[in-house]
A and B are shown apart, each in its own frame.
Chain A
Amino acid sequence: MTLYRASWVSVHKRLRLALFGVCLVFGAAEAAFAQEPAVAANPDSVDGGNPELGKRLYWRGITEEGAPFHATVRGDIQFSGAQFSCVNCHRPSGFGSSEGGNFVPPITGPLLFDARQLNRNRIFAKLFQEAQPSTFSAQVRQPRMRPAYTSETLAKAIRTGVDPAGRRLGPIMPRYDLGDRDLANLIAYLRTLSARVDPGVDKDVIHFATVITPDIDPSRRAAFLKTVEAFFDWRNKHTEGDQSRPNFSPYYRSDFIDSYRIWKLHIWELNGPPKTWTDQLRKRYAEQPVFAMVSGLVSGPWSPVAAFCNESRVPCVFPNTELPKPDTADYDQTLYFSRGLALEARALVDHLRLQPGMRRIVQLSHAAPAGAMPARVFERAAGRELGGIALEKHVFADLAGLRGLLDAIAASPEKPDALIVWPGPAAADALSALGTVSTSITHVLLPSAALETTLGMASAPGGEGVAFAYPYELPTGYHPRAFRVRGWMRTRGLEISHPRLQFQTYYALTMLEHGLRHIIGDFYRDYFVEIIEHEAENKLNPGTHPNLALGPGQRFASKGAYIVVLDGKARGGFKAVSPWIVP
């Protein structure tokens, strides 16, 4: 421009200016290259990657060479793959996340490698079902149309932050310093990410299973099943009502009509010993794949069920179990209320740590998993945290065995400072067997299952020293949602005979409902679990625990326990003698 305007300038000067202009252009180009790493010269170089290595990069930020990647965000904040990686924001499903007013758009294979299409259903939940600031809604509403990504344009976007429409990606999307091989691997993985709808979903029906193991008290079983069936029935009546009126549109529901499914419940009754359960589940699943397992009622260890869920990648949403898989990892498929008896054992150790005069502890445990597992956890935690205190361990197989052990303690002049009993399946018998022994020992500690049996007894055994681990909300806790849940049950004519079991079950079903409501038509299990992780904390706690909350990858919604003692004057017949202990 300068050249043409300056028509009076001599030819010499023009030439010099022209050269200077060319230099400027080259300079700019150089600068641009310096900022934006050169995209591979060979167009095929970011194709043909190894999706497994790409997955490792996506999840753990590790390059093909085994080192963390390097990246930059907000222009100059450098970080490495050891600090965080793709999965943090884009999540295991690739459907993205929303947090603190920041919207991370979906990057699943089918969506990346197709031209951007406006789909209001996909952003509906983000717009209307989340408490986010207006700047967030504005981000979500931006159309940001672009053509389908190719491997090359995707590589460019990841490196330079510019999409194929020439727009800059959001400011919190880092720019990655990745080599061709790593990009090829990552892109190969992204092509597979949520590329296929998960099993268990037909055109009109979505299948769920709930698992029931043998040896369940018939009244508990009935209360559990009636709650699940009433919920399914209620949901399906809503769905049928909406589907029967073709042009209805209350609250935009007609927009979602294609994502409506009738919920089909499959009750998977297991039999035989726990070691055969995984196989039984495999067979049931082969006959009828389900999208997820919801709630469940288990006597015995959850591990065989968890093994099935993990290998088949079937989410298991809040089963009623006291024996979660001991080595549960982040992102396992089962979401639990708490660590159950393991948590109780840890809480007892924490409680005893603060008691004065503790020298000798005796632990009696039933040989069944509900006795052996917490005993093992207690022993390990006590070894770590109760230094200098002697721990004596005895195992019993039946009531006679327990009586013999208790008699020996009663006969001995040397009483232990604390007696821990893990009665396993024999909670009621164990309590009556305790009899007079408990009055001569300062601390007699039992799991919460024994408390519930005690409360059902006409006269509770034990002296003042008898205390229980209690990983639940106290009777004095206030949870508005509890009124709603009780009202819902009464309206359906459902007898509330086992409040905690039924309320926990209701919570599990609520999570199912909310999860499905948010994923709308995107039936991907990872996405569904991500929604539950996000929703668990949203004031849906029916009052069973002081606080229910998950986070990304977290698998235990409640993390602590009280130590409680019987007190006829207290609401519910017992009161806490410890703060909420989070071991």
Chain B
Amino acid sequence: MKEAGSGYTKVSAGYKVPGVTLRDQNNAPVDLKTLLAEDRPVLLQFIFTTCTTICPLLSASLSMAQPEIGKLAANYRMVSISIDPEHDTPARLREYASRNGAMPNWLFLTGTNQDVRKVIKAFGAYYQGDNKMYHQPYTYLRAKAGAAWVRLAGFPSDAELVKEFRKVVSLAAAHHGHLNPRRVR
């Protein structure tokens, strides 16, 4: 699955979104299942605001890609879920969002430790020793409700992220939403 000459790998899978209510950066409740059942393309990452090495890069990559992603699918949704939810209050997420020049389509979510753990497990992003310092740099892409997810592990460049997103949405359009995970290349 390794992409030649790039800094990331790619897999495709279906994830069962747990029924949890999180809170966004404006302290509004967000039912994750409902959010991800919206028929629009989604880019999702797990981050935390005091993270040292990988989250700043992950968020910078989404930040940079916003205009191009918007051109490909104006109704896109970006979701950054905090894996340090007790520290990352809505106010802290708001500050983090503004630091990263987040446009309105980009939601930052926090919640209880238990609920966030459920989401992490559901997305196969569980980290060693239950210590957030060992979390992995994943970016999840999905074309529309019910479609398979593509998970990028590592740090794609801006062009690579946009290319992967384009593939995901154009494949879904070609297959009328009946996406066969194995056909995602």
Contacts and interface: CB of A to CB of B under 8 A. Distances in A.
Contacts of B60: 73, 77, 79, 83-84
A139 to B, nearest CB: 12
Contacts of B56: 79, 83-84, 88-89
A102 interface: yes
Contacts of B128: 131-132
Interface in A539-583: 539, 547, 549, 551-554, 559-560, 579-580, 582
Interface string B103-136: 0000000001100000000000001111111111
A202 interface: no
Interface residues of A, number: 41
Given A74-B156, A77-B57, A79-B63, A534 B50 contact: no
Contact of B51 (A131, A330, A551): A551
B117 to A, nearest CB: 11
Interface in B124-166: 127-137, 155-159
A457 interface: no
Nearest to A136: B134
B50 A547 contact: no
Interface stretch (A93-101, A293-301, A321-329): A93-101
Interface residues of B, number: 40
Contact of A91 (B52, B57, B99, B159): B52
Contacts of A580: 112-113
B134 A132 contact: yes
B158 A99 contact: no
A102 B153 CA distance: 12
Contacts of A553: 50
Contact of A99 (B87, B89, B134): B134
Contacts of A99: 51-54, 133-135
Contacts of B133: 98-99, 534, 537, 551
Chain B binding site: helix, strand, loop or mixed by DSSP? Answer: loop
Contacts, number: 125
A100 B54 contact: yes
B158 A131 contact: no
A74 B157 CA distance: 5
A546 to B, nearest CB: 8
A143 interface: no
Interface in A428-458: none
Contacts of A74: 7, 57, 61, 155-158
Interface string B40-70: 0000000010111110110111011000000
A77 B136 contact: no
A164 to B, nearest CB: 24
A552 B51 contact: yes
A76, A130, A547 pick with most chain B CB within 10 angstroms: A76
B84 interface: yes
A551 B132 contact: yes
Nearest to A530: B52
Contact of B100 (A83, A98, A551): A83
A473 to B, nearest CB: 13
A91, A97, A99 pick with most chain B CB within 10 angstroms: A99
Given A83-B99, A551-B84, A552-B51, A538 B57 contact: no
A383 B61 CA distance: 40
Given A534-B133, A538-B131, A549-B132, A171 B7 contact: yes
A75 interface: yes
Contacts of B101: 83
A572 B153 CA distance: 46
B86 A100 contact: no
Given A75-B157, A538-B129, A552-B52, 5 more contacts: A74-B157, A75-B159, A79-B60, A98-B133, A547-B113
Interface of A: 73-79, 82-84, 88-89, 91, 97-102, 104, 130-132, 171-172, 330, 534, 537-539, 547, 549, 551-554, 559-560, 579-580, 582
Name the 4 nearest CB pairs between A and B, nearest first: A131-B128, A84-B56, A551-B50, A559-B86
26 contacts: A73-B60, A75-B159, A76-B157, A78-B158, A79-B56, A83-B99, A88-B52, A88-B56, A89-B52, A91-B52, A98-B133, A99-B51, A99-B54, A99-B135, A100-B54, A102-B137, A132-B134, A172-B57, A330-B50, A537-B130, A539-B129, A549-B132, A551-B84, A551-B133, A552-B51, A553-B50
Interface of B: 7, 48, 50-54, 56-57, 59-61, 63-64, 84-87, 89, 99-101, 112-113, 127-137, 155-159
